[in-house]
Every structure is written in structure tokens, then in C-alpha cells.
């Protein structure tokens, strides 16, 4: 079911399936900012990544001596959420564990996703409740896809990104074809904090950025004007567009967790950037998107 938020600046649409943001339009002229999930490129718009971010090595993870199969980015994005509360400018959705989720993820939980609209800002809010009697281990992340180009050009060449607070370089990691992190440090040259998209820019890998190098990433048009800015407190983030497709969108993804490294051989509790939540406790986080 589709739900709507609206103010004098933006009109927002969210699907209860996956509690997924599907559309953000500027009311003044009808400009759409979000990717429309064309499966020819990528059939999603802004899925939540829970209870895993990225892929686990060999498509399985270990917890208390038992192996569990798990697909990329967990399962919440492919489940129906209930609407907890709804107002003109804020809405909350919830997803609870089931017998089916417990078979592949042995924890009882309740995941809440909220959207709050204020002026030209959409705030995404996450709350993870551990309703189990044991410590819960999880990751959570965002995967919003923004139209690029946005002015009707043939492709996104000449568009780019600005990384707040950086000047000459961005350090990042890549990934293998099966989604494992390659931990060799790579450097992306910047000019006054900006990189422009050139042919093949997205053909090598996902850009995984660790070390809290910045907490602000803006998507720029060919004239250098920011039309989307993502603000976050997450310990890492990713930049992605499908390899080899010249896809007309770019994802800016704040993450609390990531895929396993090539050489990882540990348990669920040992996964990089994983979150441990005691029984009965609640984890709260989120991110903000500004649209211009």
C-alpha cells in the first residue's frame, strides 16, 4: 500500500512493502528526485538493508556453531510492514520477526522505520528493538537511488559528487564480483572536494568509504549545483551505480555495517561494523536528505 507525506515544498510517496521510499517530487515544478525502479537497471528505489548490509562470505554466516544462509542486504526490504502511525508530515512503519525470519536469523526483533518531512528535508529514522532474551547482532543501512541526470541529459557524464570537508582525496575500498570487500586502500582524487563522473567511473566497484572521512555527500549537476545532499552519522557509506550499464541514477548509502571482507572467517559477532544490542534495548539512528 502506498502512503503520502506533503508540505509546501515536497510530495513524498512510501510503499509499505519494505517501508520503501518511492518518490520525492518538488511541488513547484514536479521534478522527481528518486529513481523509478526500472528493472532493466535496478528494480528498487530506496530499500532498507536489515539485518545485514552487503553479502556474507559464501552466502552464509555462523552463530553459536550453526550456519545460516543469508542473501545480500538481509530480508526486511522484501517484507510487508505495518503502518504504526500516520500524519501529514510524519509516518512510522514496523516489522516484527516471525517464525520464518527466525529460521534464517535467530533473533526476535521489531524494526521501526519513520519518515519525517520538513521544508526541503526528508528525514529517515530507524529504531531496532531487541525483543529477544539474548544479545542481538545486526547491521542496518540505507540504499537511496537518486536520478542522475536530472535535467534530461543523455547520461550522467559531467555530473558528480561533493564530499563535505574533504579537499584533495577520498580513501575507499572496492569489492569482488561476489560482493566481498577488498581491503586494499584506494584513493579517489578530488578537486576541492568534488569528483566528476567520467566514462567507466562506476564500472570497477562499489566505493565503500570508511574512517568517517565525511558525513555529508552532495550530488551535483553539470553546472556544479547540488540537487541532493545526504547527511548522516553512520561510520561508513557507499557510492554505487550498476557496473557497465550507464544507469541513470546514483546511490548514496549510509551504513551501520558492511559486507564481509575476502579473508573474513569469523562468526556473526565478529563481523565488521556489526551492532550488538542487549535484550530489551533499542538502537536508534537514521539520516537526512535535502532536495534543492
Per residue in 123-145, pLDDT (tens digit) is 999 999 999 999 999 999 999 99
**Percent above pLDDT 90 for the chain:** 93
What confidence tier does 39 reach under pLDDT thresholds 50, 70, 90?
very high
Q: Write out the CATH class of domain 2-291.
A: mainly beta
pLDDT score of 88? 87
Q: Is the pLDDT of residue 176 over 90?
A: no
pLDDT score of 183? 87
What confidence tier does 216 reach under pLDDT thresholds 50, 70, 90?
very high
What confidence tier does 175 reach under pLDDT thresholds 50, 70, 90?
confident
Q: Is the pLDDT of residue 174 over 90?
A: no
**Percent above pLDDT 70 for the chain:** 100
What confidence tier does 219 reach under pLDDT thresholds 50, 70, 90?
very high
Lowest-confidence pick of 87-101, 120-134, 174-188, 256-270 = 174-188
What confidence tier does 200 reach under pLDDT thresholds 50, 70, 90?
very high
pLDDT score of 119? 98
Every domain of the chain and the residues it spans: 2-291
DSSP the chain: -EEEEE-SSEEEEEETBTTEEEEEEETTTTEE-B----TTT-S-SS--BBS-SSPPGGGEEEETTEEEE--TTBSGGGSBPEEEEE-SSEEEEEEE--HHHHHHS---EEEEEEEEEETTEEEEEEEEEE-SSS-EEE-EE---EEESS-SS-SS-TT-EEEETT--SEEEEEEE-TTS-EEEEEEEEE-BTTEEE--TTTTSS--EEE-S---SEEEEE-TTS-EEEEEEE--SEEEEE--TTTT-SEEEEEEEES-PPBTT----GGGSTT-EEE-TT-EEEEEEEEEE-
| Residue pLDDT, tens place only, 238-291 | 999 999 899 999 999 999 999 998 889 999 999 999 999 999 999 999 999 999
Question: What rounded mean pLDDT belongs to the chain?
Answer: 96
Amino acid at each position: 500500500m502506498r502512503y503520502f507525506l506533503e508540505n509546501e515544498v515536497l510530495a513524498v510517496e512510501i510503499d509499505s512493502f519494505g517501508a520503501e521510499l518511492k518518490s520525492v517530487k518538488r511541488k513547484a515544478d514536479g521534478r522527481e528526485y528518486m529513481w523509478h525502479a526500472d528493472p532493466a537497471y535496478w528494480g528498487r528505489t530506496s530499500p532498507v538493508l536489515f539485518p545485514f548490509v552487503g553479502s556474507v562470505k559464501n552466502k552464509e554466516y555462523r552463530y553459536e556453531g550453526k550456519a545460516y544462509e543469508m542473501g545480500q542486504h538481509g530480508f526486511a526490504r522484501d517484507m510487508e510492514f505495518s503502518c504504526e502511525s500516520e500524519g501529514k508530515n510524519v509516518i512510522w512503519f514496523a516489522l516484527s520477526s516471525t517464525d520464518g525470519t527466525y529460521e534464517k536469523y535467530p533473533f526476535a526483533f521489531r524494526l521501526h522505520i519513520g519518515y519525517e518531512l520538513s521544508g526541503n528535508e526528508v528525514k529517515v529514522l530507524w529504531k531496532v528493538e531487541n525483543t529477544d532474551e539474548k544479545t542481538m547482532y545486526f547491521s542496518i543501512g540505507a540504499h537511496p537511488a537518486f536520478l542522475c541526470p536530472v535535467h534530461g541529459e543523455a547520461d550522467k557524464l559531467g555530473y558528480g559528487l561533493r564530499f563535505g570537508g574533504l579537499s584533495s582525496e577520498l580513501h575507499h575500498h572496492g569489492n569482488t564480483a561476489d560482493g566481498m570487500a577488498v581491503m586494499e586502500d584506494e584513493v579517489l582524487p578530488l578537486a576541492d572536494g568534488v569528483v566528476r563522473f567520467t566514462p567507466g567511473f562506476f564500472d570497477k566497484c562499489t566505493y565503500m568509504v570508511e574512517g568517517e572521512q565525511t558525513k555529508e555527500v552532495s550530488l551535483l549537476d553539470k553546472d556544479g549545483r547540488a540537487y541532493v545532499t545526504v547527511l548522516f552519522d553512520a561510520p561508513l557509506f557507499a557510492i554505487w551505480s550498476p557496473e557497465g550499464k550507464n544507469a541513470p541514477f546514483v546511490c548514496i548509502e549510509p551504513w551501520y555495517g558492511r559486507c564481509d571482507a575476502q579473508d573474513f572467517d569469523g562468526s556473526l559477532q565478529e563481523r565488521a561494523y556489526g551492532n550488538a544490542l542487549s535484550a530489551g534495548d533499542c538502537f536508534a539512528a537514521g539520516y537526512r536528505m535535502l532536495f534543492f
